[in-house]
Amino acid sequence: MNRATPVRGGGQTRLKTPTTLALCGDEATEYVNDLSCCISEIQLNDMYPPFQRVLHSLDVMDPKINGGLYPTLKVRCDAGLPGYSEFVRVQSDYDLCADELSMLKCRHDANDATVHPKLWARRQYLETLQQAAPFCEQTQILFRKIDRANQTALFRVVLDRFNPQGLLERTTVECVQHHQIWTRENLSLDGNDVAQIRDDLKGLIYRLSPLDISLLFIRLADTAGLTVTRVIKGSIGPLISPRGGVMGRHDDLKMVVADGALLSAGIQVAGIDMDADVNNDPFCGEAALSGEARAQFCKERSLPPVYVFCDRKFALCDGDVPALKAYLAKATTKNIVYEVK
């Protein structure tokens, strides 16, 4: 199943299930190939979800790789990406594949293809899946350095998740932990300088991550004993493709895409080390907090001014590059466009 989105109306909150498109056979294979080529070309750094893991997940979603064990691939039409359930299924198979492969190998010789075709296909699929870890939701805590003179430690908390819009998203929180004997440490180091994070802080970041990035920064800055210096959101998607569905609000890009695929990757940065807001994202709408409201929030919390930077880059496969550049020029943004050969 796909994650549902809360919708308010009539005094009640109901859940709206995203529309999905079921792709089969060659159409699913072509979709996976287009998306994988775009992700490989779009130059994602460590501020985005780990693209090698994403690519491995996509590989085994291809019916030709999984031997038709999963004949349909469900794609969210609003994001153009595989649904949450598809990634969870791959992760579940990966978690169990070592034990299952051990059992299959005990029962059948390594080259014995005379067994039931579905069992043989299952074995080949699991052997491919076992080669690398797939994408999954996880939180990592990365220790950066200690300032013993000021009794502080610099950390980076990284959360990979599926956001409510169906995009793959990495939220990075750069923060300073102050050592205070009267405050429980949210982040700590063991004897080998391995960073640990309290479960309640991990849960807080997960719960707040869907918020507008400036709101997320301010809410996290309220955490006792923790100074947040920067929050970054890097997302993969949406994918606009005739095979993966086209988001309604981007219908004006249909002519750009034609029979190909257009993938974008967005980045948002909220921090106290900038001196103005910058929006270079043609898909970015109005911020949840205006500049004036954000300044008031910061003033009430004795925070330095928080500014937001937004950017987006594109990878176009078998599409009209000049038409895309004309679209971006009309949007008055200057974005990087990678052409997938």
112 and 158 part of one domain: no
Mean pLDDT across 73-90: 93
CA distance 117 to 121: 6
152 and 120 part of one domain: no
Tokens of 68: 């038709």
pLDDT at 2: 47
pLDDT at 341: 81
71 and 179 part of one domain: no
118 and 154 part of one domain: no
104 and 207 part of one domain: no
201 and 83 part of one domain: no
pLDDT at 18: 66
Helices (H), the chain: 25-41, 51-61, 84-107, 117-129, 199-208, 213-221, 254-257, 291-300, 321-330
The answer to whether the peptide bond before residue 322 is cis (omega within 30 degrees of 0) is: no
Residue that has been written with the tokens 């359930």 in this structure? 85
pLDDT at 105: 73
261 and 174 part of one domain: yes
Q: Dihedral of the CA atoms 129, 134, 140, 144 (nearest 10)?
A: 90
Domain range enclosing 269 = 138-340
pLDDT, tens digit, 9 for 90 and up, residues 107-123: 666 555 566 777 888 88
42 and 167 part of one domain: no
**Residue 242: which pLDDT band, with cuts at 50, 70 and 90?**
confident
**Is residue 309 scored above 80 in pLDDT?**
yes
189 and 244 part of one domain: yes
- Overall pTM surpassing 0.75 (yes/no): yes
**Is residue 190 scored above 70 in pLDDT?**
no
105 and 9 part of one domain: yes
198 and 162 part of one domain: yes
Total structural domains within the chain: 2
**Is residue 185 scored above 70 in pLDDT?**
no
Percent of the chain with pLDDT over 90: 45
